[in-house]
Homo-oligomer: A and B are copies of this chain.
């Protein structure tokens, strides 16, 4: 059976070029600990610094501003918890949006429980944060604004540049979760006015278990983990060398191929959107069509429940997801769709398709051939 993977926002396969770069560090040749002074260690250290430079290049940063973490989640946690810890004297208010990934949302909720004030901004029905709302939310106590660059469920691109400018104007640290934007749209920390920015390796065809936080020089932030002096004391623990090197290579390739690859994917994605609209009645595209990354299409199929739709698609070899990967399997409709004002039942019948390097024209044809029947079948069973 054909397998059509349309869940690239959940995770991506490691590219063969990336694996090639990693392999020496998974073998006897180059397994050293980069903190060691002997040759094995020095070689590892050199490779690590090269990778750091590649990641920095992807976002227009300096290598010294990149700190490797275990992934996007840790980077997000550090952005929030590290910033409030470093600014305790200044204030205890942070602003974020209601459509962030759980790595931000749940950390913000934790801080709220600890007595911090947290503003969760609403979004428009297109899934966009409004700069005006942030203006209104800022107080003298505000120490951090964190708004994601691209939403993981509906792919909407937030007005980060403007939000960043506003934060700068008020002397407030600005973080953006760029896990879903790097490799999909140009990301430049200076253009975006970002002080802190999170990236995850496995979303850009790098390995899982590695990511980074960009920390603009001079930004006040504390580490959240304690131990050895790695990552200039910002992130202790023996460095994940294969992960770091793979992440570096993935970043390098993502930067190089961004334009051509996204153009190709956009035309496939648009074909998918048009095809679904044409062939399936009572569907609705969730999220703004224009302010949206090229890989994302998110549809609400009325009177169809998401899990049974996903499972039926899987039986045809089509992999997609409802909401963020970590909450599918659970019974809650997506917090993002609800925040956009989509009724719970429609939110529950929503599916996210996210395209990637491996997808072809034939993949899309295959989906358009099979999906209508699947939806029709489930609707024929449905109690509504």
Given that A11-B32, A27-B14 are contacting pairs, would A102 and B228 also be in contact in the complex, using a CB cutoff of 8 Å?
yes
Given that A12-B31, A73-B225 are contacting pairs, would A36 and B325 also be in contact in the complex, using a CB cutoff of 8 Å?
yes
Chain A residues with a Cβ under 8 A of chain B: 3, 5, 7, 10-14, 16, 19, 22, 26-28, 31-33, 35-41, 70-74, 76-77, 101-103, 106-107, 109-110, 200, 202, 207-210, 224-230, 236-243, 307, 310-311, 313-314, 317-321, 324-330, 358
Among A12, A73, A238, the most chain B Cβ lie within 10 Å of the Cβ of A238
Q: Would B307 and A37 count as touching, CB distance under 8 A? A: yes
CB A153 to nearest CB in B, in angstroms, measures 13
CB A324 to nearest CB in B, in angstroms, measures 7
Given that A7-B38, A239-B208, A310-B37 are contacting pairs, would A227 and B102 also be in contact in the complex, using a CB cutoff of 8 Å?
yes
Q: Would A236 and B103 count as touching, CB distance under 8 A? A: yes
Given that A236-B102, A307-B37, A328-B37 are contacting pairs, would A227 and B11 also be in contact in the complex, using a CB cutoff of 8 Å?
no
- The docked-state distance in angstroms from the alpha carbon of A324 to that of B237 is 12
Q: Would A70 and B209 count as touching, CB distance under 8 A? A: yes
- The docked-state distance in angstroms from the alpha carbon of A236 to that of B33 is 26
Q: Would A106 and B227 count as touching, CB distance under 8 A? A: yes
CB A317 to nearest CB in B, in angstroms, measures 8
Q: Across the interface, which residues of B come within 8 angstroms of A325, CB to CB?
A: 33, 35-36, 41, 228, 238
- The docked-state distance in angstroms from the alpha carbon of A324 to that of B103 is 32
Q: Would A73 and B228 count as touching, CB distance under 8 A? A: yes
Q: Across the interface, which residues of B come within 8 angstroms of A207, CB to CB?
A: 26, 240, 242
Q: Across the interface, which residues of B come within 8 angstroms of A209, CB to CB?
A: 70, 209-210, 239-240, 242-243
- The docked-state distance in angstroms from the alpha carbon of A210 to that of B210 is 10
Q: Across the interface, which residues of B come within 8 angstroms of A238, CB to CB?
A: 10-11, 71-73, 200, 202, 208, 325-326
- The docked-state distance in angstroms from the alpha carbon of A32 to that of B319 is 10
Given that A26-B14, A71-B238 are contacting pairs, would A319 and B39 also be in contact in the complex, using a CB cutoff of 8 Å?
yes
Q: Would B14 and A36 count as touching, CB distance under 8 A? A: no
Q: Would B37 and A237 count as touching, CB distance under 8 A? A: no
